Chain A
Amino acid sequence: DVVMTQSPLSLPVIPGQPASISCRSSQSLVHSDGNTYLDWFLQRPGQSPRRLIYKISNRDSGVPDRFSGSGSDTDFTLKISRVEAEDVGVYYCMQGTHWPPTFGGGTMVETK
């Protein structure tokens, strides 16, 4: 299975400041169809995961533009330009390119 490694484990951020989360895969996530199936999810406390970003950099409907995804091949990043209180929670990356789908271990974002 593809191993997804996230860093950091925990990210304390001052509201209004930027935040960046890294996700690395154990093998290339470029699919034979040319797409790269790398998603980002946010799980707020006590809630189910909500998809924020799909195929590296596409924001889901209703996701603020302060969230952006980038990267390629095996190295991906989620950036929050200015963290707000509602952004607190655990962020997960997930790959869908290779079977079975696998998730990163999560990054907990909290405000200072």
Chain B
Amino acid sequence: EVQLVESEGDMVKPGGSLRLSCIASGFTFSSYAMHWVRQAPGQGLEWVSSISRTSAYIYYADSVKGRFTISRDNAKNSLYLQMNSLRAEDTAVYFCAREALSGYTNDFWGQGTLVTVSS
């Protein structure tokens, strides 16, 4: 069974940092590109960042570029999102999602983790 389990979120102050993890199981993690997608409270879905299978290709939404860093460790079946210089508008549930082998779509999502940025 495919599973994506995000680490527990947290409340951080504006300007602070937080690292999210996503542990994958039930599939060959190294064969799949991975994404982070977020959802602000009561709002819709916003793509945040993507990383290719070997980390050769990395992309960010303009809203997080220069502040967030996506990475992965295929030996540990793990995806990460390092979030620095956090702002109130980064408050959201963060989902890790697997990109389908065929590309262009996310076929499995984690349960999500809440990050709250507040003083």
Contacts and interface: CB of A to CB of B under 8 A. Distances in A.
Interface of A: 31, 35, 37, 39, 47-51, 54-55, 60, 92, 94, 96-97, 99-106
Interface in B4-50: 35, 44-47
Contact of B104 (A31, A47, A92, A105): A31
Contacts of B104: 31, 35, 37, 96-97, 101
Given A47-B111, A101-B35, 13 more contacts: A39-B105, A48-B110, A51-B108, A54-B100, A55-B105, A94-B105, A94-B106, A96-B104, A100-B61, A101-B106, A103-B44, A103-B45, A104-B44
Interface of B: 35, 44-47, 59, 61, 95, 100, 103-112
Nearest to B99: A96
A81 B100 CA distance: 27
B47 A100 contact: yes
